[in-house]
Amino acid sequence: LWFGEPRRVVFWGILALCSIIGGSFCLFGSRPYQVALLKNGRIYCGGSLIAPKWVLTAAHCGRRIRQISSLRVHLGDYNLRMKEPTEQIRRIHNFFMHPGYNLRPRDNDFMLLELDEPAQLNNYVNTINVTTCCPSPGTRCSVSGWGTIKSPKRRFPAIMQCADVYSVSQDSCQESYCGRITENMLCAGVEQGGIGTCQGDSGGPLVCNGQLQGVVSWGKSVCALPGQPGVYAKVCKAAQWVRSTIGRKYPARTESSQRVTSATITHQSHAPATPLLLSPQYLGGAEWGGGSWPRWNGDGGAAVGQPKAANSY
């Protein structure tokens, strides 16, 4: 339910992947877990740093490119048009899609990225907890990213945007999306609209009470309309897979490895991991990648017109 009130909304528009509409500038350094995946110097998808060498993002972000290794992982970034002293850049060593992911209805939209080098953790680059506890309806959450700040016309900001949204009950979300919502999806937004994710925010974080609860997955082609919440991959349903996948790469044999494999996830899982080796033949999709739901004050920052180092959608 939306804040206790039942609501029925039927969508006839085309569904699209989701950015942040109605957001405002994030406070510098306030989202140390936020990751920017850049292609040719421009925002491609978002993500969350969950361990020094691991990023959680959306599986659909991997379907659009022939070589996922062409992406650059930016940590501690804030303004995509500036080189910042807090910024760390990593390459992708390997990636793992959730074994239950499927494009229709985009169930289990999770992908783990293994970085070539661990992040150097500090006040501006740090991990966020992956929780096994799902949020209750009406929980206040935050979203962040560099997705478009206008819809249906697109305008991409240089500066990271943030917004507050609220988790929506499963029943209300099902009604809004005509039964397309699975148990592995979570809806969040604001009832009156005007705030929400849109193109460019895919893979980014939905954070509730300091815990990573969602990965931006999909939404309507026109973003942040009233009664149309954003749809996120539900992290609490994938926490065991995350633990299992990271644990296979780094068995918890020492105190330091236990910190990597156990510090951010509470329960252990024996779910099988699905390793996908980097290959130019793998992943040749032509799907848009994006998703997240923030608010917009003023013009939300300068549009990203010049690549920082060379990257594009």
Where in the sequence numbering do the catalytic residues fall? 60, 109, 202
CA 237 to each of CA 138, 215, 242: distance values in angstroms, whole numbers, following the listed order? 19, 12, 10
Selection from 75, 79, 88 nearest residue 28 by Cα:
79
Beta carbons of 304 and 158 less than 8 angstroms apart: yes
CA distances from 119 to 88, 105, 289 (A): 7, 33, 24
Neighbours of 306 (CB within 10 A): 12
State how beta strands 34-39 and 72-75 pair. antiparallel
Q: What are phi and psi of 48, to 5 degrees?
A: -130, 135
